[in-house]
Structure 1
Amino acid sequence: MLKGVVIVVVIVVALLAILWLTQRRLIYLPDNSAVPPAADVIQDAEDVTLTTTDGLELGAWYIPPQADERNVTVLVANGNGGNRASRAPLAEALSEAGFATLLFDYRGYGGNPGDPNEDGLALDARAAYNHLVDDRGVSPDQLLYFGESLGAGVVSELATEHPPAGLLLRSPFTDLAEVGQRHYPIVPVGLLLWDRYPVAEHVSTVDVPTTVVYGTSDSIVPPGLSQDVAAAAAGPVEEVDIEGAGHNDSVMFGGPEIVDAVVGLAERATTP
């Protein structure tokens, strides 16, 4: 009997150790099967190189507005999968709606050097911010942050240091441990995680117009977590629920509901 218990304990401890050691492979899912193409796959887009304070060079695209320029720029922070090429439809839709957009890839994504982690992605976002503000002269009061899922954690943290005019969080979670606990209920996720992304905590300190967008059929980030983020936000909040949409449905990557949400946020955030 005792021997059997010991064997079970050893197996459980071994499995937890494997999860602890490999957790970032489960969190960060870059698609490096092909480096993103040149920016000219999008009309008038420019290839950009961002330099982080720890010396990494990251690939990015700057996409100018095509019509009805709003004098508003959107900094997009991707979710945990793919690379900037899969966000091209979003950038094109925003460009057609009059927005300039910066798409960039984190370290370890899109052929970039480095390995992704929470502290590193924070540096990557600051490199994107610095490029827009310092190199392109974008005023922070004409700058929106768009964070997609994990990217909501990235931009909400950035906003605590550099508040934007407005913050759009698409499929955000309260914190990464809460998502993990929903998917792995018998694993002590909170004790194992190195990277936390406490979105709700960050937005509770950022008093800017905020829009929270989520799909009602999201099976990856439950809608309730996104609603909790909206409830925690310090600034005036608008919730946009996209009926029947899942986490990775095409409508969530530049569909009309997403673009309308950005337009609405821009009007709330930048209109005197």
Structure 2
Amino acid sequence: MRKKVLIALAVAVTLVGVVFGGAFAFQRKLIYLPEAGPVPGAATVLPGGRDVTLTTSDGLSLASWYFPVAGAKAAVLVAPGNAGNRSFRAPLARALTARGLSVLLLDYRGYGGNPGEPSENGLALDVRAAQDFLTREAGTPMIYFGESLGSAVVTELATERPPSALVLRSPFVDLASVGQRHYPFLPVRWLLRDEFPTKDAVARVKAPVTVVFGAEDSIVPAEQSREVARAAGARTIEVPGADHNDPVFSDGPELIDAIAGAIR
């Protein structure tokens, strides 16, 4: 009997080890969901759009889109969420340029056919390359806009390189807080290699902050976005009934007004 118990315990421990080991080894496959493409040319999205290459400090060349607007009142650096590629953000670019804003749609490493593998440190280098590009090209005030995971990316950037304004769409407290909601059976905080501590970082941002989120968000709970907003002392725009990927967060008036009105 004792032998059977020991065997059962050994099997259980092995299974737990396999589950936890797999979760650790393959976690970035669950976090980052890139769409490779093909990605059309920027000019097919908007006349005058440019296909540009951003060079990171670790030597990667990242294809992205730039949509300059003559006499723009500001340039928007768009840091996307964890899925898709820049073609998914074409409606956002059209809506923002129609409001007189130049737009850079960044594709991270591993996204849109770009080389490299995404990680927290890698995305930090990618967004710095994007900011360097806009600093050279735009010559206007700069708005950082991040959606979901991208909110963490631009918030970290803003602590080091302050923008004229920071707009966060559906930000989370930190990655572990979101992961624990979706994988309650795992010790997510112990396993995660990438942290993305948005709430802690946004408290150090000196620029004005706007937080936009859906009241019925099933991916990032609305209360997490509210926590980020409170930490930043931010202007808050809560969209009633909206879920995480609803069209309102593609080019809806609530989002576009928030970005266009971020610089007063």
The TM-score, its normalising length taken from structure 2, stands at 0.95
Is it true that 1:51 corresponds to 2:61 in the alignment?
no
CA distance in 2, matches of 1:20, 1:178: 16
Match of 1:138, SS state, is coil
- What amino acid is the match of 1:221? V
How far has the Cα of 1:207 moved from its partner? 1.6
Match of 2:213, SS state, is strand
How far has the Cα of 1:70 moved from its partner? 4.5
Is it true that 1:77 corresponds to 2:76 in the alignment?
no
The answer (yes or no) to whether the contact 2:50–2:66 under 8 Å persists in 1 is yes
CA distance in 2, matches of 1:15, 1:83: 30
Report Cα offsets for 1:86-143 as digits up to 9, x if no partner. 001001000001111100100000000000001010000000000011x21525xx10
CA distance in 2, matches of 1:245, 1:44: 33
CA distance in 2, matches of 1:154, 1:241: 21
Gaps of 5+ in 1: 268-272
Partner of 1:88: 90
Gaps of 5+ in 2: none
CA distance in 1, matches of 2:261, 2:252: 14
CA distance in 2, matches of 1:110, 1:22: 21
CA distance in 2, matches of 1:44, 1:156: 29
How far has the Cα of 1:65 moved from its partner? 3.0
Give runs of aligned pairs for residues 78-227 of structure 1, distance below 5 A. Answer: 78-133=80-135, 135-139=136-140, 142-227=141-226
Is it true that 1:31 corresponds to 2:28 in the alignment?
no
- Could you list the runs of 4 or more consecutive aligned residues of structure 1 that deviate by over 3 angstroms after TM superposition? none
CA distance in 2, matches of 1:130, 1:211: 23
Partner of 1:5: 9
How far has the Cα of 1:208 moved from its partner? 1.3
The answer (yes or no) to whether the contact 1:65–1:97 under 8 Å persists in 2 is no
How far has the Cα of 1:211 moved from its partner? 0.4
Match of 1:218, SS state, is coil
How far has the Cα of 1:265 moved from its partner? 1.2
The TM-score, its normalising length taken from structure 1, stands at 0.92
CA distance in 2, matches of 1:247, 1:219: 6
Partner of 1:270: none
- What amino acid is the match of 2:236? E
Is it true that 1:247 corresponds to 2:249 in the alignment?
no
Seen in structure 2, the aligned counterparts of structure 1 residues 137 and 101 have a Cα distance that, compared at 3 Å, is: closer
CA distance in 1, matches of 2:118, 2:156: 16
Match of 1:197, SS state, is coil
CA distance in 2, matches of 1:112, 1:199: 25
Match of 2:228, SS state, is helix
Q: Identity, % of aligned pairs? A: 51
- What amino acid is the match of 1:77? A
Partner of 2:20: 16
Report Cα offsets for 1:147-202 as digits up to 9, x if no partner. 00000111001111100011000000010000001111121000000000000111
CA distance in 1, matches of 2:81, 2:112: 13
CA distance in 2, matches of 1:203, 1:126: 17
The answer (yes or no) to whether the contact 1:28–1:80 under 8 Å persists in 2 is yes
- What amino acid is the match of 2:7? K
The answer (yes or no) to whether the contact 1:200–1:228 under 8 Å persists in 2 is yes
Alignment root-mean-square deviation, CA: 1.2
CA distance in 1, matches of 2:35, 2:239: 27
